[in-house]
């Protein structure tokens, strides 16, 4: 078991922190006359504060993930979980983190808003990681953030390289698995038993189809999860969101059905893009989007926009020059994508 030295990692000011104690912390029973939280007593289903510890949601989630409830933190989106990690471990103006590029833009925004240094190590030309380069950049860093499947490239990172990083790095290795349910490789969650320095972020926003309710998941060793609970806003996930997330988990077959459809549509779009003469590269994908390269992404992007078809232009992202990212939609939406793209192909041929 690879241990973590929390005492060395945590922000010194948090060591003696007394967390906020809410009314729902001080009395946790469900029966009674509740006159302790200054709520309006008239029942409209949401007049009471939500469970600050998200107990029911964790109870449903834990067996599905194969972890203990105490290894889970629920955030207002995984963006909040990531923010909590910065606030728990990184001293503003002093500490730094390391991540990869190209990857999810929020890592930089979170580092900047928390006044934490950030070094972005370039992925290889197959968009994979080089553990040596990352470890070298991470000397003295508090966290390494990796994303697999990676956004916007779509591929899984090499798990042997991730393992090397986990074995060597003294700080926390955060693995963002927002797209893991679309991947042919399983989550690295099982490694939590082996590595205390591993922290995994997942989300209800992508495969689970609940982007609107803002529920994210953090999975880690008990000490780290406890620390994050100490600093999180007490009622960070509202009661409606908790309810909807639980319902969705109870109807997991529905998610599975949708995943089958999305993956089928993904194969169809990959095939279409591969035979499209205007497409230079279709990058391998393990996610619900496809990154592809054309000769002029801006022109293509504008052409699509003029026809009410919105994809993501990634041309200004490091390593993604002239790349567009298309999310897998419904069959009808994807048909429309193909239809508009075909009209562009035909116009180009006439030119
Ligand atoms: C979409 C996405 C998330 C999800 O963020 P939420 O706040 O949970 O909606 C996290 N990481 C990556 C890489 C993403 O693309």
Report the predicted TM-score, pTM, of the whole model to 2 decimal places: 0.97
CA distance 8 to 170: 10
pLDDT 10s digits, 138-192: 999 999 999 999 999 999 999 999 999 999 999 999 999 999 999 999 999 999 9
Report the separation in Å between the CA atom of 288 and the middle of ligand 1, taken as the mean of its atom positions.
12
Give the Cβ contact number of residue 145 at 10 Å.
Answer: 26
Determine the residue of 110, 151, 155, 208 to mutate for testing ligand 1's pocket, defined as the one with the most ligand atoms within 8 A of the Cβ atom.
Answer: 151
The Å distance, Cα 42 to ligand 1 centre, comes to: 37
> How far away, in angstroms, is 274 Cα from ligand 1 center?
27
Residues framing ligand 1 (Cβ under 6 A): 77-79, 104, 147, 151, 176, 178, 203, 205-206, 211, 216
Place of tokens 């006044």: 115
pLDDT in tens, 333-345: 999 999 999 999 9
Q: What is the pLDDT of residue 19?
A: 85
Q: What's the 340 CA to ligand 1 centre distance in angstroms?
A: 28
- As a whole-number percent, the residues of the chain with pLDDT over 70 amount to 99
Q: Which numbered atom of ligand 1 lies nearest the CA of 150?
A: 13
Task: Report, as an integer, the average pLDDT of 218-239.
Answer: 97
User: What's the CA dihedral at 42, 45, 47, 50 to 10 degrees?
Assistant: 150
Q: Which of 148, 205, 215 to mutate to test the pocket of ligand 1 (most atoms within 8 A of CB)?
A: 205
101-110: average pLDDT:
98
In sequence order, what are the residues at sequence separation of 6 or more whose Cβ sits closer than 8 angstroms to the Cβ of residue 115? 92, 93
211 C-alpha vs ligand 1 centroid, how far in Å? 9
Token code pair at residue 260: 């089958």
pLDDT at 20 over 90: no
- Alpha-carbon distance 118 to 134, whole Å? 12
Domains and CATH numbers, the chain: 6-22+50-250 (3.40.640.10), 253-350 (3.90.1150.10)
How high is the pLDDT of residue 102? 98
User: d(Cα 6, Cα 199) in Å, to the nearest integer?
Assistant: 13
Is residue 203 over pLDDT 80?
yes
* Placement of tokens 């897998």 in the chain: 328
In this prediction, residue 348 carries a pLDDT of 80
Atom of ligand 1 nearest to the CA of 216: 8
Q: How far is the CA of 78 from the centre of ligand 1 (A)?
A: 6
Could you give the CA distance from residue 35 to residue 270 in angstroms, rounded to a whole number?
Answer: 59
Q: What was the pLDDT predicted at 18? A: 86
pLDDT in tens, 293-331: 999 999 999 999 999 999 999 999 999 999 999 999 999
């Amino acid at each position: 078991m690879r241990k973590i030295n929390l005492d060395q990692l945590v922000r010194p000011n948090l060591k003696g922190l007394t967390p906020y104690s809410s009314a729902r912390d001080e009395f946790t029973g469900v029966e009674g006359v509740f006159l302790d939280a200054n709520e309006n007593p008239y029942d409209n289903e949401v007049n009471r504060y939500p469970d600050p510890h998200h107990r029911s949601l964790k109870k449903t989630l834990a067996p599905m993930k194969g972890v203990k409830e105490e290894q889970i933190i629920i955030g207002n989106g995984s963006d909040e979980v990531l923010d909590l990690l910065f606030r728990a471990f990184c001293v503003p103006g002093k500490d730094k983190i390391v991540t990869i590029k190209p990857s999810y833009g929020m890592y930089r925004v979170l580092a900047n808003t928390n006044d934490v240094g950030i070094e972005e190590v370039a992925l290889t030309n197959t968009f994979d990681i080089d553990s040596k380069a990352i470890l070298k950049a991470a000397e003295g860093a508090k966290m390494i953030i990796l994303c697999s499947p990676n956004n916007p490239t779509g591929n899984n990172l090499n798990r042997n390289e991730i393992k090397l990083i986990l074995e060597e790095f003294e700080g926390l290795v955060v693995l963002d698995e927002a797209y893991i349910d679309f991947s042919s490789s399983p989550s690295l969650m099982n490694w939590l038993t082996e590595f205390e320095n591993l922290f995994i972020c997942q989300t209800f926003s992508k495969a689970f189809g609940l982007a609107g309710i803002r529920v994210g998941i953090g999975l880690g060793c008990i000490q780290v999860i406890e620390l994050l609970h100490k600093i999180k806003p007490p009622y960070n996930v509202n009661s409606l969101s908790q309810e909807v997330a639980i319902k969705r988990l109870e109807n997991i077959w529905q998610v599975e059905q949708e995943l089958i459809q999305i993956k089928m549509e993904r194969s169809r779009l990959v095939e279409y893009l591969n035979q499209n003469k205007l497409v230079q590269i279709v990058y391998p994908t393990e996610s619900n989007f496809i990154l592809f390269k054309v000769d002029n992404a801006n022109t293509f992007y504008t052409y699509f926009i003029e026809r009410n078809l919105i994809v993501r232009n990634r041309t200004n992202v490091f390593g993604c020059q002239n790349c567009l990212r298309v999310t897998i939609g419904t069959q009808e939406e994807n048909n429309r994508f193909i239809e508009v793209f075909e009209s562009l192909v035909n116009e180009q041929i006439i030119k």
